[in-house]
């Protein structure tokens, strides 16, 4: 695995146009990143790791997970939620105390913890389901089943009262209980989504590029444009100033979007500029404030 040295960490790549880069100096954000590292063969199973953004403080969980397991730190950073087979799981941030929260009717994917710590939501059977973070089927419910969408991925808004869902096509906004819905954007091939903690910006993976979408107006702005490179799995820093994402060789496949067997973790600022390779290999899945 490639790690940034203290000297190299001060050198960032600045993008002036999507897909192009130039050198500029800048700090390394704080906190701890959870990510899956792939060996470059199939991309089916990744090695679960965590570290600071400069690669120091590496923790190897000694376990492999599929990308759809998408492990996520709880808001207090003490637990990790993930999915495996037909089950929601949670464990301590150190990797101990693994427990099953609830089974799912179909293989769940892309779990996300609500900012208030009460819920974990994920896709299952083409809908978004949520379960109480306490488990035991408490609050287990299909919250988007009343709407005829192919719901793929979910991201909670700050305050936990709404969530965004990537669908085919476009992005939908739901109340947390599924009682109302509105179309935010009809951006074609929208898949994984990430709601900025500032509440006003949504990062969206669509057609293997990244877009920033205003959560009020729905205005979408493309921030990467790399036909031979896949940019996917966007994830905001806890303070909303930075966006990390997976980036690697690949071509668009509507049946398997956001797929690369040799991804690297890249980063940009909240406006889409300053795109650079962090020096970490893998796909980011969660970012906690505490290192």
pLDDT tens-digit series, residues 166-175: 987 799 999 9
Q: What is the mean pLDDT of residues 83-102?
A: 93
pLDDT at res. 10: 32
Look at residue 1 and tell me if it is in a domain.
no
Look at residue 135 and tell me if it is in a domain.
yes
Tokens encoding 165: 């869902």
Half-sphere exposure of 272 (CA within 13 A, CB side): 21
Q: Which residue has the tokens 């009809």?
A: 186
Look at residue 249 and tell me if it is in a domain.
yes
DSSP notation for the chain = -----TTGGGEEEEPSSTT--EEEE-PPP-SEEEEEE--SS-SSSEEEEEE-TTS-S-EEEEEEE-GGG--EE-TTSSEEEEEETTEEEEEETTS-S-EEEEE-SS--EEEEE-TTSSEEEEEETTEEEEEETT-TTTT-EESSTTS---EEEEEEPTTSSEEEEEESSSEEEEETTSS-EEEEE--TTEEEEEE-TTSSEEEEEETTEEEEEETTT--EEE----TTEEEEEEEE-TTSSEEEEEEEE----TTS-S--SS-EEEEEETTS---EEEEEESEEEEEES--
pLDDT at res. 45: 86
Look at residue 145 and tell me if it is in a domain.
yes
- Please report, in angstroms and rounded to a whole number, the separation of the first and last CA atoms in the chain: 20
Q: What is the mean pLDDT of residues 216-229?
A: 95
Q: The domain that contains 72 carries what CATH number?
A: 2.120.10.30
pLDDT at res. 267: 97
Rounded Cα–Cα distance for residues 248 and 258 (Å): 10
**Whether pLDDT at 252 is above 80:** no
> Structural domain of residue 231, as residue ranges?
8-288
pLDDT at res. 26: 58
Q: Which of 85, 157, 160, 181 is CA-nearest to residue 124? A: 85
Q: Using an 8 Å Cβ cutoff, are 65 and 36 in contact?
A: yes
Look at residue 188 and tell me if it is in a domain.
yes
Look at residue 3 and tell me if it is in a domain.
no
pLDDT at res. 291: 94
Residue 97: other Cβ atoms inside 10 A: 9
Rounded Cα–Cα distance for residues 102 and 86 (Å): 9
Look at residue 43 and tell me if it is in a domain.
yes
| pLDDT tens-digit map of 60-72 | 999 999 999 999 9
pLDDT at res. 245: 98
**Whether pLDDT at 18 is above 80:** no
Look at residue 100 and tell me if it is in a domain.
yes
Q: What is the mean pLDDT of residues 183-190?
A: 93
The model's pTM is 0.88
Structural domains of the chain, count: 1
pLDDT at res. 168: 76
Q: Using an 8 Å Cβ cutoff, are 259 and 230 in contact?
A: yes
């Amino acid at each position: 695995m490639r790690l940034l040295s203290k000297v190299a960490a001060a050198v960032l790549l600045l993008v002036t146009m999507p897909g192009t880069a130039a050198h500029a100096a800048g700090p390394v954000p704080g906190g701890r990143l959870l990510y899956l590292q792939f060996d470059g063969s199939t991309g089916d199973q990744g090695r679960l790791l965590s570290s600071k953004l400069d690669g120091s403080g590496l923790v190897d969980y000694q376990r492999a997970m599929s990308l759809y397991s998408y492990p996520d730190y709880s808001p207090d950073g003490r637990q990790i939620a993930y999915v495996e087979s037909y089950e929601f799981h949670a464990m301590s941030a150190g990797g101990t105390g693994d427990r099953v929260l609830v089974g799912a009717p179909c293989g769940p994917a892309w779990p996300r913890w609500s900012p208030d710590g009460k819920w974990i939501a994920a896709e299952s059977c083409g809908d978004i389901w949520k379960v109480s973070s306490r488990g035991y089927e408490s609050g287990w419910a299909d919250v988007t089943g009343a709407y005829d969408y192919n719901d793929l991925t979910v991201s909670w808004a700050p305050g936990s009262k709404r969530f965004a869902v990537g669908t085919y096509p476009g992005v939908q906004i739901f109340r947390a209980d599924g009682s109302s819905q509105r179309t935010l954007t009809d951006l074609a091939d929208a898949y994984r989504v990430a709601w900025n903690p500032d509440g006003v910006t949504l990062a969206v993976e669509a057609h293997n590029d990244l877009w920033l979408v205003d959560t009020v107006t729905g205005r979408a702005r493309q921030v990467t444009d790399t036909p031979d490179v896949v940019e996917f799995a966007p994830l905001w820093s806890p303070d909303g100033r930075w966006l990390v994402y997976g980036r690697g060789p690949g071509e668009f496949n509507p049946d398997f979007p956001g797929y690369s067997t040799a991804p690297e973790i890249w980063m940009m600022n909240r406006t889409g500029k300053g795109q650079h390779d962090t020096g970490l290999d893998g796909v980011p899945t969660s970012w906690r404030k505490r290192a």
